[in-house]
Amino acid sequence: MTYDFHPTVLREYDIRGIIGETLGPDDARAIGRGFGTLLVRDLGGAKKPLVAVGYDGRVSSPILERALIEGLTSSGCNVRCIGMGATPMLYYAEASAEEVDGGIQITGSHNPANYNGFKMVFRGRPFFGVDIQTLGTMAAEGDWVDGFGEVESVDIIDAYIDRMLTALDGINPGTLSGLTVAWDAGNGAAGPALEKLAARLPGTHHLLFTEVDGDFPNHHPDPTVEANLEDLRALVAEKSCDFGIAFDGDGDRIGAIDGEGRVIWGDQLLMIYAEDLLGNLPNSTIIADVKASRALFDHVEKHGGKPIMWKTGHSLIKSKMKEVSSPLAGEMSGHVFFADTYYGFDDALYAGIRLIAAAARLGKSVTQLRGEMPAMLNTPELRFQVDESRKFAAIGEIAARIAASDAVADTTDGVRVTNADGWWLLRASNTQDVLVARAESDTQEGLDRLLAQIDRQLQLSGLERGESAGH
C-alpha cells in the first residue's frame, strides 16, 4: 500500500494542512506508519518503541489522533496517550520518561481553526526538515514495516505542573504574596494546565478564556499580534496587575505585557531571562534568531554572556542549542527555550513562571525591567508575497550584491545588514511563499533610510515590498 500527501502539507518545521482539503485521517495514519517505521529501524530490535501522543483543542484533533495511533501501532509501536493538552505537555511526556522513544502532538498551533498538523520529537531530538520529507518518500513507496502495538492512557498533567513549579525553587514565597498576574489562554490547549497552575502559584491570578474551544470565539490565539492582546491589556488595567501573559493555540509561544500595558516582545523577554540566568551561569551562550533586536545581543554581552544570532525556526534553534550547549534561547515569535534547569523545549507556561522568578531574583518589577530597555524604533515583521520558486533566489541575489559592496552583512538566515543607522533584514520564509523584512534604528530618519535600502534591493531583483501577507 502506498500513499501520497498533498504537496503543501510536509513543511520545514512541522506538518500542517487544512482539514477536509489538504489534511485528514489518511494523512495521520501514513504519518504514524512512517514515524513508527523509522523508530523501529532506528532501535534495531533493541526494544519495542514507545511513542507519546497528545492533541490540542481543535475540533478535528480527536479524529486525527485515532488515525495516527492506528498508523503507529500497525508499524509495531506501543503508544502512550496523554490526551488533550498543550504541546509542551507532550514534550514533557517525551523528555521526562526514559522509556519513551518519541512524541507526536496533533496541533494547528496558532493557525486558524480549520487547520491542523503535527509536531514531532524523535529519540530526544526535533524531527524536521529532511526527516519530514522522508515520511513523504516512505509513504509514496509504501516503505513501512508491519507489526502490532498496545495503547495505554496516562494522565500526566499534575506531574507536569509539579515539574514546572520547580522554577520557583529557592525563592521565598512570601516575597511573591503581593504579586498579581493576568493570564490569557485564548481558548487554546493550555487552558486546563493554566487553571491548575494558577491555583498553586503564590500571589493573585486572574484568568481569561481557559475553556478549550477549537473555534477560538474570543480572539485568535497568536500573542505576537498586538490586537490579540487587547483583552489581556484591559484585564491588567482593571485589576492593576503587575503584568500579563498570553499563550498561542498550543501553549508553546508566550506573549506578555507589563503593568502599564506595554507589549514585551519576544526579544525583550529574552533580555529579562538572560539577565536572570547569567547571574547564576556566567559566560553562558544565549541564542536568538536573526529577527531579534540589537539591544538583546548588546544586553547579553553587557551581562557577561555570549550571544549567538541563529536561524529562525523552533526546530533549528533547538538543534543549535544542543550543538553549542546553550542554556537559553528564544525567538521573536515567542518561542523561549530553557535548558538550564529544564529540558530545552519551548514551553510558554513554564516561561510565564520563569518571568515571575526572574523579576523576583533581579529585585525589580516586570514593568521596571521593561522600562529600562533602550527605546529602539523597529518595524513589525513585514511579510510580502513572493513566488515560491523565486524567494530563495532573490535572497541569494541580494546577498551577492551586498557582499560586493562594503556593507557589513550576516547571512546566517537571509541577509541582515548593519550600518550607522541600525540594521535591516530580508529573509525567505521556510513555511510560506513570502519574504520577511524587518528594520531597526534609534531614529525615525534612520529607520526610513533602512527601509529605503530594503526597497532598493528588492527593486534590483524585480520585486517590491507590497501588501503584507498574513501568517
**Under DSSP, is residue 325 helix (H, G, I), strand (E, B) or coil?**
coil
Query: What CATH number does the domain located at 377-460 have?
Result: 3.30.310.50
Query: Is it the case that residue 366 has pLDDT exceeding 70?
Result: yes
pLDDT at 315: 87
Res. 470: pLDDT tops 60: no
CATH number for region 15-155? 3.40.120.10
Whether 109 is catalytic is yes
Give residues with Cβ within 8 angstroms of 282, minimum separation 6. 304, 305
| pLDDT band, residue 471 (cuts 50/70/90) | very low
% of the chain surpassing 90 pLDDT: 90
Report angle CA 249, 386, 317 to the nearest 5 degrees.
Answer: 45
Task: Report pLDDT digits (tens) over 64-73.
Answer: 999 999 999 9
Residues 449/384, Cβ–Cβ less than 8 Å: no
Pick from 434, 424, 425: nearest CA to 392: 434
Looking at 109, 284, 293, 326, which residue is catalytic?
109
Using alpha carbons, list the distances in angstroms from residue 173 to 169, 202, 259, 467.
9, 6, 21, 50
| One-character DSSP codes across 235-302 | HHHHTT-SEEEEE-TTSS-EEEEETTS-EE-HHHHHHHHHHHHHHHSTT-EEEEETTS-HHHHHHHHH
d(CA 106, CA 31): 11
What three-state secondary structure class fits 229? helix
Q: How far apart are CA 410 and CA 290, in angstroms?
A: 9
The model's pLDDT over 266-313, given as tens digits with 9 standing for 90+, comes to: 999 999 999 999 999 999 999 999 999 999 999 999 999 999 999 998
Q: What is the pLDDT of residues 444-462, one digit of tens each?
A: 999 999 999 999 999 999 9
For residue 436, the cross-strand partners are: 383, 427
Map out the domains of the chain as residue ranges: 15-155, 160-371, 377-460
Residue 298: partners with Cβ closer than 8 Å, 6 or more residues away: none
Q: How many CB atoms lie within 10 A of CB 363?
A: 8
Read off the pLDDT of each residue in 4-33 and give the average, rounded to a whole number: 95
pTM of the model: 0.94
The residue whose grid cell reads 530553557 is 338
Mean pLDDT of the residues in the chain: 95
Domains 15-155 and 160-371 share a fold: yes
Select from 204, 292, 199, 192 the least CA-distant residue to 251: 192
Rounded to a whole number of angstroms, the distance between the first and last alpha carbons of the chain is: 36
CB-CB neighbours of 443 under 10 Å = 11
Rounded to whole angstroms, the Cα distance separating 91 from 456 reads 44
What integer is the mean pLDDT of 336-356? 98
Taking residues 32-41, report their average pLDDT. 98
Q: Determine how β-strand 180-184 pairs with β-strand 243-247.
A: parallel
Q: Between β-strands 285-289 and 306-310, what pairing exists: parallel, antiparallel or unpaired?
A: parallel
For the stretch 400-419, pLDDT in tens is: 999 999 898 999 999 999 99
pLDDT for 468 equals 45
CATH of 160-371, one of 3.40.120.10, 3.40.50.720, 3.40.50.1010, 3.40.309.10: 3.40.120.10
